[in-house]
Chains A and B, each alone.
Chain A
């Protein structure tokens, strides 16, 4: 069964510090992996998308890595800001890209404290 596991479930860090969120998946065959940011009371917004051949992708202070061999991804946030407080959801697409190949993690709830 396809699964996406995210860790930690929740994280609290001080403003200005860095942090790394983890995503492990068992989806096979693999098509791509996305990280979404979901602010409280809003819908998720795409941060990055990574395909099999990509190891690293950055979007401002967000850097995602992918190791397709170990089926692990991480999202690193540099110099955190209060606006980074949100849930971060890892989504893995498999097979031919159909909806049945979409597997969602439950997210990591990140709180940035001043």
Chain B
């Protein structure tokens, strides 16, 4: 199994540009999570999908952030417009169970730098 796949691995963009991060969860996993990690705040849960349906998006910082999961094998996290404070590592994770309490399998992350 290839594990959770994320792309791109690195992204450098200018303030105001749109950024799209992509994630392919492990086949057969029902739940998908998007996280942001910074030195100051550690890991923060942004949004959680179960069976492709957004369950909890209370962690999405503001309207500039949006996430979709059009099918069981693909999800996107979009930032529009991007700002320097969005610079962070963004992780996608999936679990085989429907509960957030299940063991999560993390992807390698996308390192985003907004100039």
* Binary A-proximity of B29-45 (CB < 8 A = 1, otherwise 0): 00001000000011111
Q: Within the assembled complex, what's the spacing in Å between the Cα atoms of A45 and B104?
A: 8
* Binary A-proximity of B56-91 (CB < 8 A = 1, otherwise 0): 101000000000000000000000000000000001
Say whether B26 faces chain A, with CB atoms less than 8 Å apart: no
* Binary B-proximity of A89-105 (CB < 8 A = 1, otherwise 0): 10001001111111011
The A contact surface, by secondary structure, is mixed
Q: In the bound complex, do residue B104 and residue A32 qualify as a contact, i.e. CB atoms below 8 Å apart?
A: no
- Contact residues, A64-98 vs B (CB, 8 A): 89, 93, 96-98
Q: Within the assembled complex, what's the spacing in Å between the Cα atoms of A101 and B58?
A: 12
Contacts of B105 in A (CB 8 A): 46
Minimum C-beta distance from A80 to chain B (A): 23
Among B41, B106, B107, chain A packs the most CB atoms within 10 A around the CB of B106
Minimum C-beta distance from A51 to chain B (A): 10
Minimum C-beta distance from A22 to chain B (A): 16
| Residue contacts A-B, CB under 8 angstroms, 25 given | A31-B101, A32-B101, A43-B4, A43-B91, A43-B93, A43-B107, A44-B91, A44-B106, A46-B103, A46-B104, A89-B43, A97-B100, A97-B101, A98-B55, A98-B99, A98-B100, A99-B33, A99-B56, A99-B100, A100-B56, A100-B58, A102-B45, A102-B101, A106-B42, A107-B42
Interface residues in chain A, defined as those with a beta carbon under 8 Å from any beta carbon in chain B = 31-32, 34, 41-46, 49, 89, 93, 96-102, 104-107
9 A-B pairs closest in CB distance: A43-B106, A97-B101, A106-B42, A99-B48, A93-B101, A97-B99, A99-B100, A99-B56, A104-B43
